[in-house]
Amino acid sequence: MGQTIAEKILSAHAGKNVSAGDICIAAVDFLMAQDGTAPLVIKAFEQLGGKQIFDSSKVCFVFDHNSPSPNMGVSALHKLMRTFAIRHGIQRMEIGEGVCHILLPERGLLRPGNLVLGADSHTPTYGALNLMSCGVGSTDLAIAMLTGKQWFKVPGTTKVMFSGKLPRGVFAKDLGLLMVGTLKASGAIYQSLEFGGDAFSTISMDGRFTIANLVTEVGGKTCIMEYDTQTEKYLSQFASPSTFRPVSADKDAVYQHTVELDIDRIEPLVAQPHTVDNVVPVRDVAGTNINQAFIGTCTNGRFEDLKIAASILKGRKVHPDVRVIVTPGTRKIYFECLKEGIMEIFLASGCCVTNPGCGPCVGTHQGVPSDGEVVISTANRNFKGR
């Protein structure tokens, strides 16, 4: 019987063949924690009696959720992270460098076939690079930091096939929302989602990261996209393609579900409050008054996203009763936007541009809405207060 990509990656890292439903212990390739979870990881690591990290070059802390620190409490947690990272030789991505799920791929830290864990629910984003990445709790990450291994229940796989051609004015975010609206918030619990279909090759790498980012919103354990020429071109910035070990599913792999999504007639979509799967056409809510708009996050804070937003705002002014906050995903993206004149467009139109990071996505700083205010956002979640 053939294997899915998830089964192949876990088999390679467990040192034995495994199938959906099996329990295995597998070696990990890279670990990440952000400033909302790293303090808990540190606490668990020390409670476990941890003295040394299995390989400090395979661990990083990212300061992105509260960047820069909005209060003394967060400052103390940031200090804890810095002290621990310096002591153990862990690489840090500091305040203003960007959001974790854009930074790690951008820095060339990940490769096809990798097994990656992150103490953040949207870690499956990295699956756009033909690897397996999963969000885990802080204790699980601490154990992996200590041992270099973690236990897994091998997930079943749902195959998602995109067919057709994107209409004008429709983007990867709409494909992601189509997936979420079709599968629903609990439609792929503990599943690995594999993506393919004749339309897949036309989706840019920025777009693929956007779709992968939304896998968490249907309950997915991980997301693994096919390796193709776009994947190779993106990763070739960091290493020779001859060093890559792409993974593909066997022709006779067993899928628990197959979902076919025709994108020929898709139109712009939006998720209404307060659930991610309350997806409707934008025309259904057209004319709704808003108080704030937020452009950014690990879902849509990439260069392609900001370029599209700027093309819409160019030569126009933000309504005086609306606040628009723009948060570039990383410092590199910020620089690219400066070179292309995109930041000038945002500022001239009346937007508030913040430093790279998560920005107001978390709902704790840099643009917290008041009770009763209406917000449109490019974020992956529309929960109350976010």
Got the DSSP string for 188-243? TTTEEEEEESTTGGGS-HHHHHHHHHTGGGGT-SEEEEPP-HHHHHHHTTTS-GGG
CA–CA distance from 268 to each of 158, 200, 271, 323 (Å)? 25, 18, 11, 22
Determine the pLDDT at residue 363: 87
How many angstroms separate the CA atoms of 27 and 349, rounded? 50
Q: What is the pLDDT of residues 110-121, one digit of tens each?
A: 999 999 999 999
Report if residue 262 sits inside a domain: no
Report if residue 77 sits inside a domain: yes
Question: 130, 155, 180 — which closes off a domain?
Answer: 155
Residue 157 β-bridge partners: 192
CATH number at residue 31: 3.30.499.10
Q: What is the pLDDT of residues 137-190, one digit of tens each?
A: 999 999 999 999 999 999 999 999 999 999 999 999 999 999 999 999 999 999
pTM, whole model, 2 decimals? 0.96
Report if residue 124 sits inside a domain: yes
Report if residue 350 sits inside a domain: yes
Low-confidence stretches of the chain (pLDDT < 70) are: none
Report if residue 35 sits inside a domain: yes
Report if residue 315 sits inside a domain: yes
Question: 155, 180, 200 — which closes off a domain?
Answer: 155
Question: 116, 131, 155 — which closes off a domain?
Answer: 155
Report if residue 67 sits inside a domain: yes
Number of domains, the chain: 2
Q: Which domain holds residue 363?
A: 287-377
Strands 279-281 and 269-271: antiparallel
Report if residue 335 sits inside a domain: yes
